[in-house]
Structures are given as structure tokens and as C-alpha cells.
Amino acid sequence: MLRNSIQTVFSLNILALKSDKGLKTLLMLLGLLLALAGFNRPAIADLDKVDRAAMHQVIKQYIMDNPEVVRDALIELAAREKQAIITAGLTKLRRDDGDPVMGNVNGSLVIYEFSDYNCGYCKRMFPTIQQVLASNDDVRLVVKEFPILSQSSLIAARAGVAAQKQGKFPAFHREMMIYRGQVSEAAIMTAARTAQLDLNQLRQDMDSPATNAIIDRTRAGAAALDINGTPALVVGETIISGAVSTEKLQNVINLERAKQG
């Protein structure tokens, strides 16, 4: 009986496809009826034979009369696919156990910063970041050690992760960010001494599989979000590439805070 009802829907509503509202209504009704009927593939195949030629003609004519429908559908599909990629990337990004942290470690608003200690623009951003942290006591800054510029960048990134393990990352990070010139192992160790790190423990942690796993995880997150340079900041779902002013970063933070309510 339900099959007859579906055929009746096709027969009585075929002309309704000529209007956008009619098209949506018919497709929704058809989908509901199919779901209620629990149709299997053979049943759907049989149903497709009903007024197939007439349906094809009406749909073809509708698209010809309204070509923007196809364009809008493709734009919407691309937007959905892009959002799905971003969502997947953010999921990877938020796996931050072991990543260096600054600001309010329990802050409700999280900023992720992809950084390289050989990056001049990262060092240029350092005062901005410090100012933002001082002005926003609800911000938790997660530094994603992202060594992309040289081998010494990788050594420094490992040291950053290892410094976090000793709970002295902010002091170490500051020394590295105010250092001028190409980073060397000697400069890294000097920064570590100034930050009062246990150097033997630091070297051990720098070479640990856990530290390498954290850096590999950061690389995977950057790839998922199509981040290939430093500095790069992620606030909520907003990705900021390159160094920006304190005002611009604060505006993004305010918008994200408003979203969170």
C-alpha cells in the first residue's frame, strides 16, 4: 500500500519540481516515505522506473532554467568539504598533552602558536604575545614547536618541549625569543642555564621518544590545517598566518570570547 502511495506522490507531484519549494518538498516527502518503508535496493530500483523519463525531463528543464542551482550546490559542497577538513585539523591540533604552555594554564580561551626559534617573525610576535597574555587572564597559550627552518630549529624545539616537562618553559622561551642570530646548540644551553633548567635532565628529555612524538603530532596538525609557515596562530577556528598587531590579535580573541558566551 505504501508503494502505491509513493507512486501516487510521483504522479501527482511531478509538475511541482518546476518550483524550488516544490522540488524540496517532493524530495523530502519521498525520502521520508522510503525511510518509513524500509526499502531495499531492488525496491528502489523498481521505484526509479516510475515516471523516470518525465522526471528526468522536468529536472533537466529546471536546471536549464535555473543554472545557478548547480553553481550554488557546488559552492555549498566545497564549503562543507573545507569545513570538514578544518574540523579534522582542529581535532588533531587540540591534542596538546605535553606541548609547552604559557599564560593561564587553566584558561578557558586557548590560542595555539606554531613557532620556530629561528623565525625572525616569531621573535617579532613575542612582545605582542606577551602583551596579550598580560591583558587577558583567561588565555591559555599552547606553543606548537614547529621546526621548519633548520636542523638547529629541531634541536631548539626538542629543548622547548623538554623545558615544559620541567615546568620552566616560559623562562626558557623568553631567552630563546630575545636571542638574536642563528640558533646554535650553545645558545640553547645558555638559555636553559638562565632558565635554571636541569641540563642533564633536559638532554635526556630532548632525545626521548615522547618528545619526538609531540613534534611529529604538531607537524601532522599543521599539515591538516594547511599551515606551512611560522608564526601561525589558531584562535577558535580562526587561523592567522604571519605576524600581526596586538590590536588585530585582540580583536580575534574578543570575537572568539563572544562566541563562547
Residue ranges per structural domain of the chain: 2-66, 92-260
User: What pLDDT, on the 0 to 100 scale, is given for residue 43?
Assistant: 47
* Distances, alpha carbon 9 to alpha carbons 13, 186, 205, in Å: 6, 79, 69
Torsion of CA 142, 253, 241, 97, to 10 degrees: 20
- What pLDDT is stored for residue 257 in this prediction? 93
What is the C-alpha to C-alpha distance for residues 55 and 14, in angstroms, rounded to an integer?
Answer: 7
The second-level CATH assignment, the architecture, of 92-260 is 3-Layer(aba) Sandwich (3.40)
- Give pLDDT, residue 6: 41
pLDDT of residue 14: 43
Q: Which pLDDT belongs to residue 64?
A: 77
pLDDT computed for residue 237 by the predictor = 87
Quote the pLDDT of residue 87: 73
β 139-145/109-115 pair status: parallel
Helices 52-65, 68-93: inter-axial angle, 10-degree rounding:
90
Q: Give the predicted TM-score (pTM) of the model.
A: 0.70
Q: What pLDDT tens digit does each residue of the chain (261 aa) get?
A: 444 444 444 444 444 444 444 444 444 444 444 444 444 445 445 545 555 666 667 667 777 777 776 677 677 767 676 767 777 778 888 889 999 999 999 999 999 999 999 999 999 999 999 999 999 999 999 999 999 999 999 999 999 999 999 999 999 999 999 999 899 999 999 999 999 999 999 999 999 999 999 999 999 999 989 999 999 999 998 999 999 999 999 999 999 999 887
Side-chain-side CA neighbours of 75 within 13 Å: the count stands at 6
